[in-house]
């Protein structure tokens, strides 16, 4: 897990105890992170990536990947999020439409590619080492090879609202959600046939995770969780598991998910989410903003979902 002041906490969600907090990037907000392996995580701040072993987070390396000090249209574009489809392949996207593929084991400065000029790139999912799908702030999706993101077909999959989060359990299936409750299920190779559903207009959809093509889970801003089959999402039922808004989610297996609020973490079986394991994590003064589970017994940072000031 990460907090708004550059800290991280790693722990076993099934037996959380009182895990210590380590500082990755003192005083700097982390905008995204992924863990391509149990012993390697990659976090990003506004213009750099930090690679670290979650068991030894103090020994991290920082490499600049963004245009530090170089303004575009009057401002510095911030890195939004990162995904690592392979141990030596990550891709970061930013709020000006750029993608930066990089090898976290290398200290060289990577090349930035313009993927969608002038559009903020937000949610991203990479179901394979040679395929990533990203959402922009206009309801479009773009699918590309992260090694060379130059061939990037673009399609509008939501004409009335922007989409905020995405999960792609396979190379031919992606599920995108909006805070407003809209859900779009689509094949990134045939987005014209996307299926749009008003999934939950009453609760703010905050995060999605899919363990397979037949099982996805979302959490919302009212402490609720919903697990569904993407082929028939309207038949799902919602369960409240927290009195706090849930803002991040990871599901390392079909019977284990963990979600996080500003107060605590909740681990549950998404198929039957009534029994939960709760833990107070963080330092009590910094908002917890993100997490990922590289295995069923380990938590580390993932994507920035919100920051409280």
Give the Cα separation of 110 and 221 in Å (integer): 36
- For residue 184, how many other CB atoms are within 10 A of its CB? 23
**Within the chain, what is the greatest distance between any pair of CA atoms?**
50
- For residue 69, how many other CB atoms are within 10 A of its CB? 8
Q: Which two tokens stand for residue 212?
A: 């397979």
Give the Cα separation of 8 and 263 in Å (integer): 15
Give the Cα separation of 44 and 186 in Å (integer): 28
277 three-class SS: strand
Measured over the CA atoms of residue 180, residue 120, residue 294 and residue 297, the dihedral's sign is: negative
Q: Which residues pair with 232 in a beta bridge?
A: none
Total-model pTM:
0.89
If you count them, how many residues does the chain have? 309
Give the Cα separation of 14 and 258 in Å (integer): 9
159 three-class SS: coil
Q: How far is CA 21 from CA 31, 76, 149, 178, in A?
A: 18, 30, 36, 32
Give the Cα separation of 298 and 55 in Å (integer): 10
**Pairing state between β 288-290 and 2-3:** antiparallel
Q: What is the pLDDT of residue 215?
A: 98
Tens digit of each residue's pLDDT, the chain (309 residues) = 766 778 787 878 888 777 777 888 887 888 888 988 888 899 888 888 999 998 888 888 888 887 654 544 544 557 888 999 999 999 999 988 999 999 998 888 888 898 998 899 989 999 999 999 999 999 999 999 988 887 788 899 998 889 999 999 999 999 999 999 999 999 999 999 999 999 999 999 999 999 999 999 999 999 999 999 999 998 899 999 998 898 889 999 999 999 988 777 899 999 999 878 887 765 555 666 667 877 655 555 443 222 232
Q: What domains are defined for the chain? A: 2-14+24-300 (2.130.10.10)
Task: Show Cβ contacts of residue 262 under 8 Å, excluding neighbours closer than 6 positions.
Answer: 244, 245, 247, 287, 288, 308
Phi-psi region for residue 135, left (φ > 0), alpha (ψ -120 to 50) or beta?
beta
What is the spatial order of strands in the sheet that 215-220 belongs to? Answer: 205-212, 215-220, 224-228, 238-240
Q: What is the pLDDT of residue 71?
A: 47
Q: Which two tokens stand for residue 294?
A: 């590289």
DSSP letter for 235, please. G
Q: How far is CA 90 from CA 95, 105, 150, 167, 196, in A?
A: 17, 10, 16, 16, 30
CB 258 within 8 A of CB 265: yes
239 — phi, psi (to 5°)?
Answer: -130, 135
């Amino acid at each position: 897990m990460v907090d708004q002041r550059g800290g991280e906490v790693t722990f076993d969600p099934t037996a959380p105890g009182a895990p210590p907090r380590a500082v990755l990037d003192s005083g700097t907000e982390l905008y995204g992170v992924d863990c391509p392996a149990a012993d390697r995580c990659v976090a990003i701040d506004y213009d750099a990536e930090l690679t670290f072993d979650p068991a030894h987070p103090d020994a991290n390396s920082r490499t600049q990947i963004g245009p530090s000090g170089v303004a575009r249209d009057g401002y510095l574009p911030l890195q939004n999020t990162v995904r690592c489809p392979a141990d030596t392949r990550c891709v970061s996207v930013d709020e000006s439409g750029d993608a930066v593929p990089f090898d976290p084991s290398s200290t060289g400065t990577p090349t930035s590619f313009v993927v969608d000029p002038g559009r903020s790139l937000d949610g991203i999912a990479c179901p394979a080492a040679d395929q990533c799908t990203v959402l922009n702030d206009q309801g479009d999706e773009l699918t590309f090879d992260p090694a060379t993101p130059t061939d990037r077909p673009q399609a509008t999959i939501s004409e009335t609202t922007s989409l905020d989060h995405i999960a792609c359990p396979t190379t031919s299936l992606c599920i995108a959600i909006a805070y407003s409750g809209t859900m779009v299920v689509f094949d990134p190779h045939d987005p014209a046939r996307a299926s749009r559903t008003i999934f939950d207009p009453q609760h703010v959809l905050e995060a999605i995770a899919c363990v397979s093509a037949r099982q996805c889970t979302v959490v919302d801003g009212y402490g609720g969780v919903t697990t569904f089959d993407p082929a028939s999402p309207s038949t799902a039922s919602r369960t409240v598991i927290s009195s706090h808004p849930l803002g991040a989610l990871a599901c390392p297996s079909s019977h284990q998910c963990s979600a996080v609020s500003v107060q605590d973490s909740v681990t549950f079986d998404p198929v039957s989410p009534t029994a939960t394991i709760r833990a107070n994590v963080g330092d009590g003064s910094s908002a917890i903003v993100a997490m990922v589970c590289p295995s069923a017994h380990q938590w580390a940072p993932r994507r920035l979902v919100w920051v409280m000031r």
